[in-house]
Amino acid sequence: METLLESAATRAHYIAIWRWLVFFVFAALAITLLPLPKIVSLALVFGIALIKAAMVMRDYMHLKSEKLIIHAIALIPILLFIGLMLTLIPDIALHR
């Protein structure tokens, strides 16, 4: 299906993604060491985690070439548990 040239490009792409992932690990570590306000550092660290997860899912789990239905299957539970978390904030996190 794939020509040799394309597959060589695919392989290089996988490795490039890995380089980015490694870079982001170090970036996250660097951010925690910087004297940033807590909220900023949290936002940055979790933003980086989101980017990393998105890269793995998009490229390694092939979401970028999947059909809409697979995207929905992956996305709906994520939205659901985040919704659960947000709904419970007044009750569990702030009740005291």
Amino acid in position 46: F
Which residue matches tokens 């900023």?
Answer: 40
Contact partners, residue 93, CB within 8 Å, separation at least 6: none
The footprint of another protein on residues 61-90 (CB under 8 A) is: 61, 66-70, 73-74, 76-78, 80-85, 87-90
d(CA 77, CA 80): 5
Least separation in angstroms between CB 64 and another protein: 13
How far does the chain reach from its first CA to its final CA, in angstroms? Answer: 61
Q: Does 40 bind another protein (CB under 8 A)?
A: no
- The number of beta carbons lying within 10 Å of the beta carbon of residue 51 is 15
37 vs 68 by CB, closer to another protein: 68
32 vs 35 by CB, closer to another protein: 32
* Residues binding another protein (CB under 8 A): 1-2, 7, 10-11, 14-15, 17-18, 21-22, 25, 28-29, 32, 42, 45-46, 48-49, 52-53, 56-57, 59-61, 66-70, 73-74, 76-78, 80-85, 87-96
